Amino acid sequence: MVVIPLKLIDRLMLIYLGIVTLLALIRLDQRPYGLWVIGANLLTVGLIWLLHLPGLGPLGRTVRDIYPVLLLPALYGALDLLNGIDVRVWDSEVQRIEAGLFGGQVSRDWWRRSPSGFWSTALHATYFAYYFIVPFPALFFLWRRERERARNAVSMIVATFLFCYLVFLLLPVAGPYYEFPRPDGAFVDNWAARMVYGILSVGSSYGAAFPSSHVAAMAAATISTWMGSRGAGLALLVPTLLLAVAVVYCQMHYAVDAIAGLVVPIPIALAVWRAAGRTDGLTD
């Protein structure tokens, strides 16, 4: 049966699913829930095939463009099934790097030394805004009827996520959220902190600290937006930089996690852009 040719992000998804399935098989003795991951991966491969059959209507073609973003929560949730709370983590090594670079544990000490109700609220709110900003580029370019730019934005963001997820599986780092006593008292007595901790209580995967996928995805969203619209891309720069501060000040990530999150998407986004044949100039 004739199918629509796979695009770069489809191939990257299939490669990722293959690697994760192999890891699930290797870890099956220790992680029997990996069978669910294998089954879900096979269903995802089937979905990709169905979405590339000819004759899809406008809705089907839109889903084909953005399905990788829709699948990210499931891919993230699978990390817990393959790592588990008893997985060997690399926090001691990261903490040594942190101490060597900054003279201490920034995420543990910063909010204690400089507690601020205002900055706690503002930065926890920035952390929460991540969930709205990451899908922004795809929606923005679809709204402008620029489907190719929307597809490329999805590719850059999802490729960044997939890279982070593989690092989480191969070199898990728990992060200060698990390693240190969590912020308490007046520092977290605000609406934004309560929302963030509510989300983390039901949707945080252990071992997913380095690099910060929150920062990396925001940076990828900013880069992919800027490649199609300088004005919109610059508008995302401030919340992206604030998020890099927020994850450290609010003790979600080590400082090196945030720095890596800012750096990782740059080569990934450029590689995806070139591989997708985007050699035209910037617009706006």
- Is residue 53 one of the residues assigned to a domain? yes
- Is residue 193 one of the residues assigned to a domain? yes
Output the CA torsion 184→185→189→192 (10° steps): -20
Domain that holds residue 235: 8-275
- Is residue 246 one of the residues assigned to a domain? yes
Closest CA to 7 of 75, 65, 69: 65
The CATH number that applies at residue 239 is 1.20.144
- Is residue 2 one of the residues assigned to a domain? no
Residue 1: per-residue pLDDT: 56
- Is residue 141 one of the residues assigned to a domain? yes
- Residue by residue, pLDDT tens for the chain (284 residues) are 557 888 888 999 999 999 999 999 999 999 999 999 999 999 999 999 999 998 888 888 888 888 998 899 999 999 999 998 788 999 999 999 999 999 999 999 999 999 999 999 999 999 999 989 998 998 899 899 888 888 889 999 999 999 999 999 999 999 999 999 999 999 999 999 999 998 887 777 899 999 999 999 999 999 999 998 999 999 999 999 999 999 999 999 999 999 999 999 999 988 888 887 644 444 44
Residue 284: per-residue pLDDT: 44
Can you say whether residue 80 is alpha, beta or left, with left for phi > 0 and alpha for psi between -120 and 50 degrees? alpha
Element housing 5 (H / E): none
- Is residue 128 one of the residues assigned to a domain? yes
Residue 283: per-residue pLDDT: 43
The count of structural domains within the chain is 1
